[in-house]
Amino acid sequence: MIHEQAKKYGNREAITFRNFGSLKWENVSWNQFSLKVKQVSNALLNLGAKPQENIAVFSQNCIQYLYTNFGVYGVRGVTIPFYATTSEQQIQYMVNDAQVRFIFVGEQDQYDKAHRIFALCPSLERIIIFDSSVRISTHDPNALYFDDFLALGEKLPRQTEVENLWKEASNDDICDILYTSGTTGESKGVVLTYGQYLAAMIANDECVPISEKDRVIDFLPFTHIFERGWAYLSLTEGAHLIINTYPNEIQQSMRETHPTSMSSVPRFWEKVYIAVKSKIEDASPFQRKLFKQALTIGRKRNIEYLSHGRHVPLTLELQYKLVNKTILSLVRKQIGLDNSNIFPTAGAYVSPEVEEFVHSIGIHMLVGYGLTESLATVSCNHKGKPFTVGSVGYPIKGIEIKIGANDEVLLKGPTITRGYYHRDSANAEAFDKDGFFHTGDAGYLKNGELFLKERIKDLFKTSNGKYIAPQMTESLLLVDKYIDQVAIIADQRKFVSALIVPEFRMIEEWAREHHIKFESREDLCASKDVYDMMKERIDTLQQQLAHYEQIKRFTLLPHHFSMESGELTNTLKLRRPVICKNYKDVIDKMFEE
What residue ranges of the chain are covered by domains with CATH 3.40.50.12780? 266-455
Residue 76 pLDDT level (bands cut at 50, 70, 90): very high
DSSP code of residue 549: G
Contact 578, 566 (CB under 8 A): yes
Residues 6+ apart with CB under 8 A from 488: 460, 468, 470, 473, 474, 496, 497, 498, 551
Of 244, 254, 214, give the one whose Cα is nearest residue 13: 214
Kindly tell me if the per-residue pLDDT of 185 is higher than 60: no
Whole-angstrom CA distances from 287 to 279, 293, 334 are 10, 10, 16
Distance CA(534)–CA(554), nearest Å, equals 10
Q: How far apart are CA 280 and CA 355, in angstroms?
A: 18
75-92 as b/e: b if 16+ CB within 10 A: bbbbbbbbbbbbeeebbb
Task: Report pLDDT digits (tens) over 489-505.
Answer: 988 888 899 999 999 99
- Residue 220 CA to residue 344 CA, distance in Å, equals 12
Query: What average pLDDT does range 376-389 have in this prediction?
Result: 90
Burial of 268 per CB tally in 10 Å (0-12, 13-18, 19+): buried
Indicate if the pLDDT at residue 297 is higher than 60.
Answer: yes
Q: Model confidence at 183, in pLDDT bands (50, 70, 90)?
A: low
| Amino acid at position 572, single letter | L
**More confident call, 89 vs 522:** 522
Q: Using CB atoms within 10 A of its CB, is residue 518 exposed (0-12), middle (13-18) or buried (19+)?
A: middle
* Cβ within 8 Å of residue 390, ≥6 positions away: 352, 355, 451
CATH code of domain 24-169 = 3.40.50.980
Q: Would the pLDDT of 371 be above 60?
A: yes
pLDDT score, position 182? 59
pLDDT in the model for residue 281: 84
In whole angstroms, what separates CA 566 from the centre of its chain? 19
Question: pLDDT band at 351, cuts 50/70/90?
Answer: confident
Q: Average pLDDT of 164-190?
A: 87
Beta carbons of 365 and 307 less than 8 angstroms apart: no
User: Residue 196: phi, psi to the nearest 5?
Assistant: -60, -45
Q: How far is the C-alpha of 362 from the C-alpha of 58, rounded, in Å?
A: 37
Q: Residue 406: which region, alpha, beta or left (left: phi > 0; alpha: psi -120 to 50)?
A: left
Closest by CA to 111, choosing from 78, 81, 80, 145, is 145
pTM above 0.75, yes or no: yes
Q: How far is Cα of residue 448 from the mean position of the Cα atoms in its chain?
A: 26
Domain with CATH 3.30.300.30 in the chain: 460-590
Kindly report which listed range (55-59, 307-311, 546-550, 551-555) carries the lowest average pLDDT score. Answer: 546-550
Paired sense of beta strands 102-105 and 126-129, if any: parallel
- For the chain, first and last CA: distance in Å? 64
Task: Identify residue 536 by its one-letter amino acid code.
Answer: E
Can you tell me the mean pLDDT for 69-79? 98
- What gap in Å lies between CA 88 and CA 118, rounded to an integer? 10
* Strand intervals (E) in 463-566: 467-468, 483-489, 496-502, 551-556
Secondary structure letter of residue 300 according to DSSP: I
Residue 359 confidence (pLDDT): 95
429 burial via Cβ count (<10 Å: 0-12, 13-18, 19+): exposed
Q: What percent of the chain has pLDDT over 90?
A: 78
pLDDT in tens, 325-347: 999 999 898 888 888 999 999 98
Kindly indicate the confidence band of residue 417, based on its pLDDT and cuts at 50, 70 and 90. Answer: very high
Rounded CA separation 341/322 (Å): 20
* 406 three-state secondary structure: helix
Q: Rounded CA gap, 236 and 239, in Å?
A: 8
Higher pLDDT, 182 or 66: 66
Instruction: Return residue ranges of the chain for CATH 3.40.50.980.
Output: 24-169
Beta bridge partners of 17: 26
Crossing angle for the helix pair 504-513 and 528-541, to the nearest 10 degrees: 120
64-68, 138-142, 452-456, range with the lowest pLDDT? 452-456
- Residue 46: which of 119, 144, 175 has the closest Cα? 144
**Beta strands at 215-218 and 240-243: parallel, antiparallel or unpaired:** parallel
Q: What angle do CA 298, 302, 307 make, to 5 degrees?
A: 160
Q: What is the pLDDT of residues 498-550, one digit of tens each?
A: 999 999 999 999 999 999 999 999 999 999 999 999 999 999 998 888 888 89
What pLDDT is stored for residue 454 in this prediction?
78
C-alpha span between 445 and 456 (Å, rounded): 17
Residue 371, strand partner residues: 376
Q: Which helix or strand (DSSP H or E) is residue 106 part of?
A: none
Q: How confident is the model over 94-110, as pLDDT tens digits?
A: 999 999 999 999 999 99
Query: Concatenated DSSP letters for 306-371?
Result: GGGTPPPPHHHHHHHHHHIIIIIHHHHHHHT-TT---EEE-SSPPPHHHHHHHHHTT--EEEEEEE
Answer whether residue 294 shows pLDDT above 70: yes
Could you tell me if 81 and 57 are in contact, meaning their C-beta atoms sit under 8 angstroms apart? yes
- Rounded CA separation 575/580 (Å): 9
> Considering the chain, what is the average pLDDT of its residues?
93
CB 381 within 8 A of CB 396: no
Q: What is the pLDDT of residue 566?
A: 87
How confident is the model at residue 275, as a pLDDT?
87
Q: What is the pLDDT of residues 245-289, one digit of tens each?
A: 998 899 899 999 999 999 998 888 998 998 888 888 888 999 999
* Residue 550: its H or E element: none
Residue 10: burial class (beta carbons within 10 Å; 0-12, 13-18, 19+): exposed
What span, in angstroms and rounded, lies between the C-alpha atoms of 217 and 296?
A: 30
CB atoms under 10 Å from CB of 61, counted, come to 23
- CATH architecture entry for 460-590: 2-Layer Sandwich (3.30)
* 266-455 is classed CATH 3.40.605.10: no
